[in-house]
Structures are given as C-alpha cells and as structure tokens.
Amino acid sequence: MGQENSSPVLLEAPRGTYPARVDDKGRLKLPANFQTYLDGLPEKKLFVTSVDEVTARVYPIAVWRANEKLVEEETEFADEAADILFIANRYGSDCEMDGQGRVLFSPELRRKLGLENQPVFLIIRMGVVEVYSEATFQTNATRASADLPAKLTKMRKRKFK
C-alpha cells in the first residue's frame, strides 16, 4: 500500500495588487485567488474595518482575535491600543464571504473611506486583505516610487535580491 502524505497544506496568500470594486450595496467582490485563500482558512468569519481611517481591512477572524488579545495584554501603550480598538469597532462589522465571493462593508466604513460604488485596489499583507481607495493607492504609489534607487540600494545591502 502507498503511504499518504498527511502533513498539512500551508496556505499561501496571493501576491500582487488587484483591482476590484465596492458596489452600490457596499459589497466588495474579491478576486478568485483571494476567495480561494479565504476559503482555505479554518474559520470563515471575517472582521471588516479600518484601523487608520484611511485603508479598509478584511481580517480573518483568527488574525483579528490575535489583535484583540494583544490590546488586552498591552501595558506600555495601553491608551494607544485602546484607541485603535475603538476606531476598529466604530467602523467594523463581522461578516462572511458570500457564495459569490463578496464581503459586505458597513455604511460607516464606506462613507468614511469614500468607497461607495468606487474602484479599489487590493493587497494581502500579513494575512489581511488591505483595501485602498483609488486616491489612497495613488498617494501610496507616489510615496513608494520616490527615491526608489536609494531604497533598493539599502535593501540590497541587506541581501534583497
């Protein structure tokens, strides 16, 4: 008999930037590879919010729970941590991705970030889907491109290939 491989499959998040759109009902249709990534997680529950009032974030619930635990245990920056949690709860809501790969954003979050019926850009970083308005994405792209040769030189000294 053949021996079956019983080691767990490591879930790898998609790389790159993906265009998407928040529809007039506040639903974000995720690209297929984002859907596959989120479907592969043990828990389907998500927390959709902003922690900086600039970028929306779609947290797998396990990642969000780790943030809540960090805030509960924080002593040095307790006030700052509590403020971040307050903002996250102000704009946040629990949800699950629907059968068509859509995630619902609260009206407060959509209004604050100007995402209603607008194109957006998606990036997954540290297991979290980051959602940028077109204006925020362009601002970040301009900042990131500034003095890029010097940034690359610094990183190459740290073995970036």
Q: Is the dihedral of CA 47, 26, 116, 130 positive or negative?
A: positive
Write down the pTM of the prediction: 0.88
Whether residue 98 lies inside any domain: the answer is yes
For residue 122 the two structure tokens come to: 């998606």
95 C-beta neighbours (distance < 10 Å), count: 18
Query: Per-residue confidence at 75, pLDDT binned at 50, 70, 90?
Result: confident
Residues 82/71, Cβ–Cβ less than 8 Å: yes
Give the CATH number of the domain where residue 38 resides: 3.40.1550.20
Whether residue 9 lies inside any domain: the answer is no
Structural domain tally of the chain? 1
For residue 115 the two structure tokens come to: 């995402």
Q: How much of the chain, in percent, has pLDDT values that exceed 90?
A: 86
d(CA 130, CA 58): 7
Whether residue 28 lies inside any domain: the answer is yes
Whether residue 79 lies inside any domain: the answer is yes
Query: Residue 79 contacts by C-beta under 8 Å, 6 or more apart in sequence?
Result: none
Average pLDDT over residues 77-101: 95
pLDDT at 8 exceeding the cut of 50: no
> H or E element: which one contains 118?
strand 118-125
Whether residue 8 lies inside any domain: the answer is no
d(CA 57, CA 84): 13
Whether residue 1 lies inside any domain: the answer is no
pLDDT at 153 exceeding the cut of 80: yes
Give the residue numbers spanning the domain of 71.
Answer: 18-157
Whether residue 68 lies inside any domain: the answer is yes
Query: Per-residue confidence at 10, pLDDT binned at 50, 70, 90?
Result: low
Q: What is the tens place of the pLDDT at every residue in 15-67?
A: 999 999 999 999 999 999 999 999 999 999 999 999 999 999 999 999 999 99
Whether residue 30 lies inside any domain: the answer is yes
Closest CA to 29 of 138, 147, 154, 122: 122
Closest CA to 134 of 117, 152, 157, 150: 117
